[in-house]
């Protein structure tokens, strides 16, 4: 079934056709004569289309939708607070949980941690904290049941002054491969200005408890082909925007795939714009033969038209991706048979932010099994965030009360 989906992109078709000129007779040339001949009475009945000779632009889009059923459709519940050391703590930021792995009879999770309020860019950026994820270190916690957590301590700290990671290390993800453990995360070098170019670092260990060895240099950096306009700290002023990731590379996640290592990440472009789908955010992938790199960006980047935090998992020989928050294809689950060419599989609502997947789940049981429960974060206030637990369920029918 999935191979047949490669010729479709529901949202892409919708966007292209919605921007096309139309006329009073329904713009008949939008569907070819061959396509019209294959429209069945069953299709018309299912879609509630009155007359195949008078198709609206919306009906033409609907007739091109893939017949994928609802096996990819889910609904999320409200977030629930955790117990123990990961319960909300005033004055402390805990956010962006990694995926969870199960080792030594307990779950492990890593996350960004900082203390104190956020001051923004108006004050002294050498002393202040400009974002909640500024001046962070990476900590970790363990739990036997996924509800009550014990904070174990710092895993990876900021680098020495002058290092590429001396200001903040944050938004971490975990990968286990051949009895070794790898943490990949964002980094910022001082000073933290609005034009600073975030990078991606890596650390590895023989145990989930560490000690961790950090890469001496970033494993991924933004594209170096944009040009700022002027000298003022204005991230929207550019002479040339450059690639989709010319400003920042964020939210890294490494997946072992087809004998290689696929590093999925969020790209932010210099001069980022607000489009009809929100912020101009897209995802990319860089591929390596070894977990430590070197990672080479795919020639097909960007591989999404939308998204924010990376949330990817293997399924049915390919890679699935939950796309949220920003862009015209936000709030969709997508799937790529080759890990690169993603197609929309379902439209969803209410997805939590910064999902930390449960990597112990049987991701082949069904497309969304890995989303049954996991971790997220919530803004208790702008200054302070805490880690929460989410759950989801497949939604296949809808009935009235008592029906």
Query: Over 50: is that where the pLDDT of 202 sits?
Result: yes
Domain of 302 in residue numbering reads as: 74-394
Asked whether residue 231 is domain-assigned, the answer is: yes
- Whether residues 169 and 245 fall in one domain: yes
- Whether residues 254 and 114 fall in one domain: yes
- Whether residues 186 and 105 fall in one domain: yes
Of the residues 31, 63, 95, the one at which a domain ends: 63
Q: How much is the pLDDT for 37?
A: 54
- Whether residues 246 and 311 fall in one domain: yes
Token output for 380: 């208790």
Q: How much is the pLDDT for 2?
A: 42
- Rounded mean pLDDT of 30-38? 59
Please state the domain count of the chain: 2
In the chain, the N- to C-terminal Cα span, in Å, equals 33
Question: Residue 281 and residue 209: Cα distance in Å, rounded?
Answer: 34
Query: Over 70: is that where the pLDDT of 66 sits?
Result: yes
Question: Residue 233 and residue 403: Cα distance in Å, rounded?
Answer: 60
281, 326 contact by CB (below 8 A): yes
The single residue listed with the structure tokens 């609005």 is: 194
Lowest-confidence region among 27-36, 94-103, 113-122, 358-367 = 27-36
Q: Quick: pLDDT tens for 265-322.
A: 999 999 999 988 889 999 999 999 999 999 999 999 999 999 999 999 999 999 999 9
Of the residues 63, 83, 109, the one at which a domain ends: 63
Q: How much is the pLDDT for 396?
A: 84
- Please state, in angstroms and as integers, the Cα–Cα distance from residue 213 to each residue in 138, 167, 210, 216, 392, following that order: 13, 18, 8, 9, 36
Query: Over 70: is that where the pLDDT of 17 sits?
Result: no
Closest CA to 109 of 177, 159, 181, 165: 181
Q: Quick: pLDDT tens for 47-61.
A: 999 999 999 999 999
- Whether residues 179 and 123 fall in one domain: yes
- Whether residues 158 and 22 fall in one domain: no
- Whether residues 88 and 47 fall in one domain: no
Q: What angle do CA 294, 295, 300 make, to 5 degrees?
A: 150
Q: Which residues contact 230 (CB under 8 A, 6 or more apart)?
A: 237
Asked whether residue 403 is domain-assigned, the answer is: no
pTM of the model: 0.90
151, 126 contact by CB (below 8 A): no
Sign of the alpha-carbon torsion through 154, 211, 169, 149: negative
Q: How much is the pLDDT for 183?
A: 98
Asked whether residue 401 is domain-assigned, the answer is: no
Asked whether residue 399 is domain-assigned, the answer is: no
Asked whether residue 280 is domain-assigned, the answer is: yes
- Whether residues 52 and 106 fall in one domain: no
Query: Over 60: is that where the pLDDT of 5 sits?
Result: no
Q: Quick: pLDDT tens for 67-88.
A: 777 899 999 999 999 999 999 9
Asked whether residue 152 is domain-assigned, the answer is: yes
Sign of the alpha-carbon torsion through 249, 327, 28, 45: positive
Asked whether residue 328 is domain-assigned, the answer is: yes
Of the residues 63, 84, 99, the one at which a domain ends: 63
372, 355 contact by CB (below 8 A): no
Lowest-confidence region among 23-27, 74-78, 174-178, 305-309 = 23-27
- Whether residues 206 and 79 fall in one domain: yes
- Whether residues 141 and 23 fall in one domain: no
Q: Quick: pLDDT tens for 209-228.
A: 999 999 999 999 999 999 99
- Whether residues 88 and 138 fall in one domain: yes
């Amino acid at each position: 079934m999935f191979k047949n989906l490669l010729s479709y992109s529901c949202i892409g078709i919708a966007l292209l056709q919605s921007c096309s000129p139309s006329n009073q007779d329904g713009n008949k040339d939008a569907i070819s004569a061959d396509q019209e001949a294959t429209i069945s009475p069953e299709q018309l009945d299912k879609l509630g289309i009155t007359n195949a000779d008078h198709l609206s632009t919306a009906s033409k889009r609907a007739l091109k939708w893939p017949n994928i059923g609802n096996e990819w459709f889910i609904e999320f519940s409200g977030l629930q607070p955790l117990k123990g050391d990961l319960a909300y703590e005033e004055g402390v930021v805990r956010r962006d949980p990694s995926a969870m792995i199960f080792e030594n009879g307990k779950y492990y999770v890593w996350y960004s941690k900082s203390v104190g309020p956020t001051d923004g860019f108006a004050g002294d950026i050498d002393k202040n904290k400009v974002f909640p994820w500024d001046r962070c270190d990476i900590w970790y916690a363990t739990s036997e049941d996924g509800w009550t957590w014990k904070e174990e301590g710092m895993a990876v700290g900021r680098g020495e002054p002058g290092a590429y990671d001396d200001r903040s290390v944050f938004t971490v993800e975990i990968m286990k491969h051949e009895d070794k453990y790898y943490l990949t995360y964002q980094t910022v070098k001082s000073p933290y200005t609005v034009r600073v170019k975030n990078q991606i670092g890596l650390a590895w260990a023989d145990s989930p408890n560490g000690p961790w060895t950090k890469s001496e240099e970033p494993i991924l950096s933004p594209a170096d082909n944009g040009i700022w306009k002027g000298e003022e700290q204005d991230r929207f002023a550019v002479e040339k925007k450059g690639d989709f990731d010319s400003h920042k590379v964020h939210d890294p996640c490494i997946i072992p795939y087809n004998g290689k290592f696929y590093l999925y990440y969020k790209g932010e472009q210099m001069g980022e714009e607000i489009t009809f789908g929100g912020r101009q955010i897209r995802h990319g992938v860089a591929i390596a033969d070894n977990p430590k790199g070197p990672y080479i960006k795919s020639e097909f980047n960007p591989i999404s038209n939308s998204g924010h935090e990376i949330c990817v998992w293997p399924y049915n020989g390919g890679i699935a991706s939950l796309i949220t928050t920003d862009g015209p294809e936000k709030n969709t689950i997508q799937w790529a048979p080759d890990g690169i060419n993603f197609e929309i599989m379902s439209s969803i609502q209410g997805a939590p932010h910064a999902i930390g997947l449960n990597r112990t789940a049987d991701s082949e049981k069904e497309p969304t099994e890995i989303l049954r429960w996991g971790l997220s974060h919530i803004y208790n206030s702008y200054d302070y965030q805490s880690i929460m637990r989410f759950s989801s369920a497949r939604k296949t029918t809808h009935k009235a009360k008592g029906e």
